[in-house]
Amino acid sequence: MPRTRSALPSTGPVRLGPDARAVLRPAAAEVRAGFWHARRQVNAHTSIPQGPDLLESAGNLHNLRLAAGTAQGEFQGAYPFVDTDVYKWLEAAAWQLAQEPSEDLEAHTDRIISLVAGAQQPDGYLNTWFQLREGGERYQDLRWGHELYCAGHLIQAAVAHHRATGRDELLDVARRFADHLDATFGLPGSGRPIDGVDGHPEVETALVELYRETGERRYLDLAGYFVDRYGHGLLGGEAYCQDRVPLREATDVEGHAVRQLYLLAGATDLATETGDAGLRAAAERLWRAMTAAKTHITGGLGAHHDQEDFGDPYELPNERAYCETCAAIASVQWSWRLALLTGEARYSDLIERTLYNGFLAGVSLDGESWLYVNPLQVRDGHTDPGGDQSARRTRWFRCACCPPNVMRLLAGLEHYLSSSSEDGLQIHQYVTGRYRGDLDGTPVTVTAETDYPWHGVISLTVEETPQDRPWTLSLRIPQWCREYRVRRGSRTYDQTDAPVTDGWLRLEGTWAPGDQVVLELGIEPRLTAADPRVDAVRGCVAVERGPLVYCLEQVDHPGGGLDDIVIDTTRPLAVKHRPDLLGGLITVVAAGHRRRLLDGGSDGGWWPYRSAEAAPGVAPRAGEPVELTAIPYYAWANRQDGSMRVWLPTS
C-alpha cells in the first residue's frame, strides 16, 4: 500500500507526526455492541469506577498527598513504581471520558490530577517513592528505580487526557517532567549531567508520543538517545534490563518481557518518525523471532517466573507460562505500531489473538478481579502460591501494574481497530460499530454489524465516501482462517477468486453510501498442534474456534481431574450455544476419555518411569469416555477453583 500522507489527528494513543514514514495511520472507530462492547461496558462501569477507591486503599493517592505535604503518615506500597498505577488509571479514565461523558468520572479524574500536580517538585521531578523514602535522592539506582518508567506512564496519561478532553492540566505536569529529563539525561559532553537509561524501558514510547502531541522535537531526540543507550552496559549489561546488547544488533527478544516490549514499542515509534532503517529492521526481526519461537498460542509472552523473562526459543511451558497480562498489553501496543509502519496484516493477526486470549484472560468477567500471570495449565492437585503470581483471580495486587493497564487498553481499544491510507480504509479487527478514516481529509466511513467472534459473518455498509474517487476497502483475513466468502453487491467471491495478499482482502473501486459488503469467515472449531520443537506440548492439540483459544476447566468435568484426560481427534468437534454460561458463549464439545492408569507394578508404584516397551503406566484399553467441554480461554477462572488445560493429549 502507498505511504500515508495527511491525516485527521488521531484521538488515540498513537498519533503519527507530520513526517512519519508509516504506511497506515490510525483511523477512528466506535464499538457499539457485541463482544468487545460488553467487555468495555464492564470496564467502564465496574473496573474504572472502582479504581479511585482501590488506589486510595492501596495508598497510591496517600503517597501523592504525602509528597505534596497535604497529608501525614508513612509511604505505602512496596515498589518505587507505585505512582504508575495512578497514571495508568488516569489514562484509562481519559479514554473512557472521550467516549462517554461522566461527571463523576471527570470529578475523580480532576481530583487525582490535582494530587499528581501537587506532588510534583518545582523542577519537574515526580516520584513519591524517591521523594518520600529515599530522602529525595534521585537517579541513584537507575537499574531498579523506575523513575523514568514512571515518567513514561505519566506522559502517556497526560497525552491521553489532552487528546480526550483538550485540557492541559496533566499535560503541563508531564511536560515539566519531560523537560526536566531532557535537561538531565544525555550523552557525555552534551551538557546533561547523567548518561543513563532506566532499568525499565517505557519513557521512550511516551516521549515520542509527547513529541507527536506537542511538536517538540527534543522529546523525540531524547527518546532516540534512550533507545540507543541500552545495550552498552550502563545498567550492568544484564539482558533482564535490555542492556546486554544494543537493540540494533539483537537477534532475538530476551530478558524481562514487558521491558523488552515497551522498548520495542519506543524503537518502532522512532523508526516511524525518523525513518531509521536500523531500528525498523531490528523491530521487524525481533517481532518475527518472538512470534516464531517465544509466543504462547494465547499470544502470551514470558516463559519464566523468576525473572518475568523470555525463555529460550521454543521454551513455552504450560503450567509455568508466565504470560504477564502487562506483556500481552505491551505486545498489542508494539504490534499496532508495526502494523501502521509496515501495513502488514500479520501484526494485527497477533493483536487479535492476544486481545481475545492472553490479554482478556487477565480480567474477570465481572471486572473486579485479575490475573497477573496467565498460565496455560493448572494441574490437578495444584498448590497455589497465592500473591501476585497466583493462578487464582485476585482483587488487587501488591504489584498492581496489570489491572489499570487492562483498563487503559480496554478503554482505548477502538484506536487499535482500523486505519486509513491514501489507498483507502483498512479494517483490522471486526466489531459492531463504525470505522472512520479519511482520504486526504475526506472522510471514509464504514459501519459494521457482527456477532464476531461467535459467528464469522461481518456485514459492512459504506456510510461516507468521496463520490468520484476510487478507494480500497481492505479487510484483514485472519491468519487462522482457511475459508472465507465475501459478497459485494450481487456478487460473491471466495478465496479462489478474491485471494488474500499479505493478509488483506482488498476490495477496490468507487463506492456510494449504502454499498454493502458481507464477509463470511469460516469459523469451524479446529484442532491445532505446535511446532515439534515446542517440547511442552508434544503429542497434544489445542481447540480453537475463530480467534478464540479454548481450554478445559475441571468444573465442567465432574468425576475426576484433567490430567488423565485424552482427546479423541478422530471424532468431530461440535459447538454448543450456552447463553447461560459465563455471560453467554459458545463451547466446543469434543470426545475424549480418561486414561486408565495402572496401579503400579511390583514396586508398588513409587517410580513413575518405566520401560518404554509398554506404554508406561497406562492400561492398554481406553478408560471411561468423557465428553469434553471446552470454554474460551479468556473466560477461565471465573467459577470455582480447579484445574485447567489448553493443550490436550491425543493418546
DSSP state letters, 12-50: SS----TT---S-EE-EEEEEESHHHHHHHHIIIIIHHH
Amino acid at 271: A
- The residues that bridge with 488 in the sheet, in sequence order, are 491, 517
User: For residues 627-637, b (16+ Cβ closer than 10 Å) or e, as one string?
Assistant: ebbbbbbbbbb
The active-site residue out of 150, 323, 326, 401 is 401
110: helix, strand or coil: helix
Whether residue 401 lies in the annotated active site: yes
Give the three cell numbers for residue 176: 515539566
For a second copy, the binding residues in 532-561 under the rule CB under 8 A are 532-536, 538-542
| Residue 306 burial (CB count, 10 A) | 7
* Nearest partner of 158 among 108, 206, 217, 102, judged by Cα: 206
Least separation in angstroms between CB 383 and a second copy: 6
Our finding on whether 642 is near a second copy (CB under 8 A) is no
Question: Applying CB under 8 A, which of residues 335, 377, 465, 474 lies at the interface with a second copy?
Answer: 377
Q: Which stretch binds a second copy (CB under 8 A): 125-133, 585-593, 608-616, 626-634?
A: 608-616
Q: Which residues contact 494 (CB under 8 A, 6 or more apart)?
A: 483, 484, 485, 486
Q: Please say whether the dihedral angle defined by the alpha carbons of residues 306, 388, 243 and 310, taken in this order, is positive or negative.
A: positive
Q: Is 383 in the site for a second copy (CB under 8 A)?
A: yes
- 363 contact partners, CB below 8 Å, separation of at least 6: 43, 47, 325, 369, 370, 371, 403, 406, 410
By CB under 8 A, is residue 382 in contact with a second copy? yes
Concerning whether 169 is annotated as a catalytic residue, the answer is no
**470: contact with a second copy by CB under 8 A:** no
Query: Which residue out of 254, 273, 308, 324 is catalytically annotated?
Result: 308
Minimum distance, C-beta of residue 530 to a second copy, in the bound complex (Å): 5
From the list 87-95, 302-310, 578-586, 632-640, the region that binds a second copy by CB under 8 A is 302-310
By CB under 8 A, the residues from 477 to 536 that bind a second copy are 479, 482, 526-536
Kindly list the distances between the CA atom of residue 109 and the CA atoms of 32, 87, 106, 204, in Å, as whole numbers in the listed order. 24, 10, 5, 25
Q: Which of 246, 617, 623, 642 binds a second copy (CB under 8 A)?
A: 617
Cβ distance to a second copy smaller for residue 146 or 346 = 346
* Pick 43 or 291: Cβ nearer a second copy: 291
Site string for a second copy, 180-219 (x = CB under 8 A): ----------------------------------------
Rank residues 509 and 539 by Cβ distance to a second copy and give the closer one. 539
Q: Among 615, 624, 625, 627, which residue sits at the site for a second copy (rule: CB under 8 A)?
A: 615
Which member of 580, 611, 621, 640 binds a second copy (CB under 8 A)? 611
- Asked if 331 interacts with a second copy (CB under 8 A), we say no
Nearest-angstrom CA–CA distance, 22 and 269:
10
Looking at residues 216 to 255 of the shown chain, list those that interact with a second copy (rule: CB under 8 A).
Answer: 239, 252, 254
Residues marked active site are found at 308, 401
